[in-house]
């Protein structure tokens, strides 16, 4: 039996003799199936192709987990280090013995969680390898492709580890979530996945229903998402692809929402006249 992994999104599937005909994650209008059609792989096959993972410090108490070459969507996972154990956030779609050993060397993993279903990756395999529960927001439980007894759900604001709380924000998916923690400097840090996505200038952020398909969210939804984020009073935020706001994130999320809402509401239509 093989644990199949979608080549496009790198979300693991049930261990079966043959893969499914389609990936439910990629068949949804937020993702896509490549013109060449549905393609599957497996962890042994990816290892044979030369994929490997590395850890690097993002800030004190926070490590980035990156797979090279990229697999699927290619997210950078984040490892939150706490005295009570570590949280693996937005797990990668690839893991091998060397990467497990590297993670164990910095304290292992006490919990696995993700911002939304595109980031499920190889979550069950990560949980198995490091003997950790896998937490899924209840509103998105139906998107789990590889079921397992270690998968658990959460609903209201949930302290997954002491000092690390998951909050349902919504927007990109109904269960889209952020992880809130206090940094080594005593200021609030948010891990936002692409519920709130950073931009290259490390100040502005954006919000989308589908990033690859360029489908926006409505003004009302963006306002709701931003208000929930601002209420958490973040100083810094990190998304799942290296995007970041390193100071006054609360203000920049509010400004970004104002800009987005103004554009989709037509306030700046006069700037688009031929």
Q: What is the tens place of the pLDDT at every residue in 166-180?
A: 999 999 999 999 999
Closest to 235 in 3D by CA, of 201, 189, 202: 189
The three-state secondary structure class of 222 is helix
pLDDT band (50, 70, 90) for residue 266: very high
- 22 in the Ramachandran plot: left (φ > 0), alpha (ψ -120 to 50) or beta? beta
Whether this model's pTM surpasses 0.75: yes
pLDDT band (50, 70, 90) for residue 47: very high
Q: Which CATH architecture has domain 2-272?
A: 4-Layer Sandwich (3.60)
Closest to 253 in 3D by CA, of 235, 226, 221: 226
What local confidence, expressed as pLDDT, does residue 24 receive? 96
pLDDT tops 80 at residue 1: no
| Contact call for residues 113 and 134 (beta carbons, < 8 A) | yes
Over its C-alpha atoms, the chain yields an Rg (Å, rounded) of 18
In this prediction, residues 224-240 reach a mean pLDDT of: 98
What local confidence, expressed as pLDDT, does residue 274 receive? 83
Output the average pLDDT for the chain. 97
């Amino acid at each position: 039996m093989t644990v199949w992994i979608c080549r496009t999104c790198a979300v693991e599937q049930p261990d079966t003799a043959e893969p499914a005909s389609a990936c439910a994650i990629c068949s949804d209008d937020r993702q896509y199936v490549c013109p060449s059609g549905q393609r599957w792989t497996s962890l042994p096959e990816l290892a044979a192709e030369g994929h490997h993972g590395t850890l690097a410090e993002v800030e004190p108490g926070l490590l980035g987990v990156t797979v090279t070459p990229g697999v699927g969507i290619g997210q950078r996972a984040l490892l939150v280090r706490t005295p009570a154990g570590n949280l693996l956030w937005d797990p990668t779609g690839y893991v091998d013995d060397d990467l497990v050993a590297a993670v164990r060397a910095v304290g292992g993993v006490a919990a696995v969680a993700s911002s939304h279903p595109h980031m499920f990756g190889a979550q069950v395999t990560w949980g198995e390898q490091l003997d950790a529960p896998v937490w899924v927001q209840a509103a998105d439980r139906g998107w789990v492709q590889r079921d397992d007894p270690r998968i658990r759900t959460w609903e209201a604001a949930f302290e997954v580890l002491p000092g690390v709380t998951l909050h349902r924000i919504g927007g990109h998916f109904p269960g889209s979530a952020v992880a809130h923690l206090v940094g080594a400097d005593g200021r609030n840090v948010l891990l936002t996945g692409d519920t709130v996505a950073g931009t290259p200038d490390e100040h502005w952020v954006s919000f989308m229903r589908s990033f690859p398909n360029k489908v926006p969210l409505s003004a009302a939804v963006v306002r709701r998402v931003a208000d929930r984020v601002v209420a958490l009073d973040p100083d810094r935020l990190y998304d799942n692809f290296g995007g970041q706001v390193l100071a006054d994130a609360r203000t920049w999320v509010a400004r970004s929402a104002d800009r987005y809402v103004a554009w989709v509401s037509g306030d700046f239509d006069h700037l688009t006249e031929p």
